[in-house]
Homo-oligomer: A and B are copies of this chain.
Amino acid sequence: MVRVHVHRVAVHFGDCDPAGIVFFPNFARWMDQASLAFFAACGVPPWRELERTTGIVGTPVLETRTRFRLPATYGETLEVHTSVEEWSAKTFRHRHAVRRGDELLCEGSEVRAFVVRDPSRPGRLKAVAVPDDIRSRCG
């Protein structure tokens, strides 16, 4: 069973570039929003709470792959359909499909890891195993 969360995005004027279409790094931003919305929908608390209880400060991206099929512009509403395609010991892989009604605009795949602050190197982070309780909530 794959759990899919749908995150809605309103495209705004300032998200678009001089060609009149969405400046593409915004799709990465919306996929990041969709990732966090996925975890929230599964009942995982926000990172700032998780940091206090587990030390986890977020899920940085290790690898992304995105295919852009159709552009979008301001005034449109998009949907990001997000799931976890694969769980590994220390990483997981998201799949995001960005849709506008029946059209598939863009598809993304992200490998991410849960990280904590590295006590031995101030300002650095290190990956930890995917917490069992988070994985089971998101199953």
Residues of chain A touching chain B, judged by Cβ–Cβ distance below 8 Å, are 10, 12-14, 16-21, 23-26, 28-29, 32-33, 36, 40, 46-48, 52, 57-58, 60-68, 71, 73-75, 115, 122-125
Contact B46 A32 (CB under 8 A): no
Candidates B64, B71, B75, B124; contact of A66 at CB < 8 Å: B64
> Given A29-B14, A71-B125, A63 and B66 touching (CB < 8 A)?
yes
A52 contact set on B, CB distance < 8 A:
122
Candidates B26, B57, B75; contact of A19 at CB < 8 Å: B57
- Nearest B residue to A66 by beta-carbon distance? B64
Contact A123 B20 (CB under 8 A): yes
How many copies of this protein are present in the complex? 4
A29 contact set on B, CB distance < 8 A:
12, 14, 23, 25
> Given A24-B28, A25-B28, A52-B122, A17 and B75 touching (CB < 8 A)?
no
Contact A62 B57 (CB under 8 A): no
> Given A60-B71, A62-B68, A71-B125, A16 and B14 touching (CB < 8 A)?
no
A21 contact set on B, CB distance < 8 A:
60, 125
Q: How far does the alpha carbon of A26 sit from the alpha carbon of B32 in the complex, in Å?
A: 12
